[in-house]
Structure 1
Amino acid sequence: MRLIGTVTPDRPLLVLALPEEAAYLDAALPVLLTGMGKVNAAAALATVLAGGPKPSAVVNLGTAGALRPGLAGTHEIGRVLQHDLDTPLLEQLTGRPMDGPIDLGPAGPVLATGDRFVSSDTERDELARAADLVDMEGYAIATVASRAGLPVRLVKHVSDEAGDGAELSWQASVDGCARLLADWAAAHLR
């Protein structure tokens, strides 16, 4: 975890997993680098929110894999869900509702979050039944921000077509994605 800048109530906090994704952000807004995965993202954001002033909002910027052919560009997420938690089975076993999907806005693609980097066509095709994009931190960030009573936005740039060879595509595209995410932040946040 690394916090760059100072969190203040009049500015949003930008939350990203990796320094590669934050490489071109200007220093006007505070940036939290969480590390990869749901546990790192949740722990880092919860620590920052508990330790001082809260930001005006939480904005998660990052890369995502496309689960559908032809999906490209930068997208603000409308709904996020966990793909690696068997919510229906756990609800059946306990008789209680579990953490289901989180609706973030009226429009936008569905993001599936899980701790596995999706690099097989079989897993991609299975996830595509419920979502459009896949990442490793979005659901955790949305959960922590929501529980803290803060507005949250998830903005993802498609870095690869999740599936066979995705790890090579991500490595080749992350720098370009970081530039486009910084452009989005400059145009939409202040």
Structure 2
Amino acid sequence: MRLLGTITPDRPLLVVAVREEAAHLGERLPVLLTGMGKINAAASLATVLARGPHPSEVVNLGTAGALRPGLAGGTHEIARVLQHDIDTPVLRELTGRSYGEAITLADGDGLTLATGDLFVSDPEARDRLAREADLVDMEGYALVTVARGAGVPVRLVKHVSDEAGDGAARTWRESVDGCAKILAAWADDRL
């Protein structure tokens, strides 16, 4: 975890997983680098929000893999997020309670993001996830859960770096800098 800048109640906190995704963000807004994965994202944001003050909102900027054709290269504000690596039906049967249900966000362009702690590089996993979601990442669900728990508005903005499946890891490495430039421009235009 690394916080760059100072959080104030009158401006958003930009949250990104890794420095590559933050490479072109200026110093105008504070940036939290969480590290990859749900645990790193949740622990980092929870720590920062517990210290206070709270930002006006949390804006997660990051890359995502496309689960369907036609989404590569686009920037999307997510409307719904779910966890794909928690077996909610089995847990509900075992405990009688739900864990990890999908979360609807106030704004967004209609796309669903699936969050999980694995890099989706298998075409079969991609096809299975595509039945429920449009994009895949490793932090979004955790960040929404923590921000909402602290009473802070949250948005997820994802730029599609690659199509999940064979070769996705190579494509992400090749495209992350270009994605970071686009995400920085989005932040400059909208925040």
Q: TM-score, normalised by structure 1?
A: 0.98
In structure 2, runs of 5+ residues without a counterpart are none
Number of the residue aligned with 2:54:
54
- Per-residue CA deviation, residues 61-86 of structure 1 (Å, 9 max, x unaligned), is 00000000111310000000000001
Counterpart of 1:102, as a letter, is I
Counterpart of 1:105, as a letter, is A
Number of the residue aligned with 1:131:
133
2-structure distance, mates of 1:70, 1:8: 38
2-structure distance, mates of 1:138, 1:96: 22
Number of the residue aligned with 1:111:
113
How far off its partner does 1:88 sit? Answer: 1.3
- Contact 1:77/1:105 (8 A) holds in 2: no
Number of the residue aligned with 1:92:
93
- Per-residue CA deviation, residues 47-70 of structure 1 (Å, 9 max, x unaligned), is 000012010000000000000011
Three-state SS of the structure 2 residue aligned to 1:50 is: helix
2-structure distance, mates of 1:114, 1:97: 17
1-structure distance, mates of 2:81, 2:97: 20
How far off its partner does 1:120 sit? Answer: 1.1
2-structure distance, mates of 1:147, 1:15: 16
- Per-residue CA deviation, residues 71-116 of structure 1 (Å, 9 max, x unaligned), is 1310000000000001111011101122301100354210000000
Q: Do residues 18 (structure 1) and 21 (structure 2) align?
A: no
Equivalent residues, number:
189
Q: Do residues 76 (structure 1) and 58 (structure 2) align?
A: no
- Superposed structure 1 runs of 4+ greater than 2 Å apart: 105-108
Q: TM-score, normalised by structure 2?
A: 0.97
Q: Do residues 28 (structure 1) and 28 (structure 2) align?
A: yes
How far off its partner does 1:30 sit? Answer: 0.3
1-structure distance, mates of 2:91, 2:159: 32
2-structure distance, mates of 1:96, 1:139: 19
2-structure distance, mates of 1:30, 1:122: 39
- Contact 1:42/1:141 (8 A) holds in 2: yes
Q: Which moved more, 1:101-110 or 1:25-34?
A: 101-110
Number of the residue aligned with 2:174:
172
RMSD: 0.8
Number of the residue aligned with 1:153:
155
